[in-house]
Chain A
């Protein structure tokens, strides 16, 4: 039962993480390949502050604001680059964040990571706290989705779509394209930071290996597979991807094939993704019904 709660919390964290990327990718049309950096900034800031004696809840709040600010700080120079180059700049930033965590031992303890991160609101550490943490995460996820719903269905969300569809038209109709994009990245980073903080306080131990390029690819998959540009797409995408990864553990692979287990899991995972992308390139929930 605790195992199930554990999987669900991870899935919900990915719901927030994927939805935050969707704001940039699905609405503003920005390919951010370094989104994991803001997840990491949220996780490390919150972990370090709470280990330094701040209350976990306050740490999480500060961490979220730090991620949003660093998102804006990255966006201002990176958005001066056009299209593909923005993607490359963000990719570099993602690696930079990971390498910073790996090498700045005075702050992050490097590859040893940070153990013993306390849980917020007095939720117990260890397995006994998992069910309560699940309800805590559900509440936060619901709040995030409500905020994102209001944001994306608003004139702001519409203006982001105008930018995504045609920047020249956006400019010709008085939209400040640069400012809209910076705000989209800042808000995306804010929620990515929140997902990161939730993750750190849930698993109670983080290390630089939790924030590799793989995480960015995984969250991109959640968005694209679920359906970018929709509110429910990334939610469904996150559940499908996370649950599917877990289901692969239960594949009936004979025990004497031990050393093939991991490659077989990877092959099936890859094959299913390829089939889904071929069959539903718009994602499981397309933005427009044809």
Chain B
């Protein structure tokens, strides 16, 4: 579904991502792991249009999306979360969800005043859908609460729910479980699993290796801007290059 060909990005003299090619679509959940600074988030930013791509191309199904504006890529069904929680703090939980619905006719001033019926219909549909999503992420009791007052873990769930509102085909999650408690991690895993059931591709950055091994069918490992491994999670943890990237090169103890 998502194809990346030889994508490169540098910031001044620093090469952040260098010649990465990959394809998503064979397996429902793909993990992207690698040490800090290996270029994972930069790669996410390039795919979703937040960073420009220096070299290389990105395709969503057959359509090239290289260097398209983020909102256009989003409207094509490629949705993402951010590394740090980014709920809209002064909107309610329910409003956070409804606002995420794509292509609302009421966002056009012309439609708003000339076709109020169509706008109301959209609103009813989106509100209904938001209620369903609230059920899925189990935040119904907090529907009217300001999102900024939710706990960190609840905000993470809300971000995932927001993505569900947007009819995604591919979703990219940047460290979805970072810093949240184990029971909410279970809720998150349940929601992510549920997504694959309806044919949504999941691509996620995650540092929690046991979780990656449980959740992902395939894992990609990045180090220093390049892809160093591609395969099953179980092979990844045994791969020499991967272990070196995480722990450093093993030295012969007798020589030191």
Contacts and interface: CB of A to CB of B under 8 A. Distances in A.
Interface string A270-285: 0000000000000000
Interface string A158-177: 11011001101111111111
A171 B103 CA distance: 12
Which of A150, A158, A183 has the largest number of chain B CB atoms within 10 A? A158
A103 interface: no
Contact of B79 (A151, A172, A187, A287): A172
B146 interface: yes
B123 A151 contact: no
B35 interface: no
B99 A173 contact: yes
B119 interface: yes
A154 B88 contact: no
A156 B90 contact: no
B95 interface: yes
A174 B88 contact: no
Given A172-B79, A288-B146, A161 B90 contact: yes
Contact of B109 (A151, A169, A170, A287): A151
Contacts of A180: 107
Given A172-B48, A172-B80, A162 B119 contact: no
Contacts of A156: 106-109, 112
Bin chain A's interface residue count: 20 to 34
Given A165-B89, A166-B86, A171 B70 contact: yes
Interface residues of B, number: 36
B112 A174 contact: no
Contacts of B72: 174
B5 to A, nearest CB: 23
B137 interface: no
Contacts of B74: 171-174
Contacts of A122: none
B91 A173 contact: no
Contacts of B95: 158
A187 B82 contact: no
B134 interface: no
Contacts of B69: 171, 176
A187 B109 contact: yes
Contacts of A288: 90, 146
Given A155-B104, A175-B107, A168 B86 contact: yes
A288 to B, nearest CB: 6
Q: 6 tightest CB-CB pairs across the interface, nearest first?
A: A155-B106, A165-B88, A171-B70, A174-B74, A174-B75, A155-B104
Interface of B: 48, 50, 69-72, 74-75, 79-80, 82, 86, 88-91, 95, 98-100, 102-109, 112-113, 119, 122-123, 146, 162, 166
Given A158-B98, A172-B74, A173-B166, 11 more contacts: A154-B106, A155-B107, A158-B95, A169-B86, A171-B50, A171-B70, A171-B71, A172-B79, A172-B82, A173-B102, A174-B75
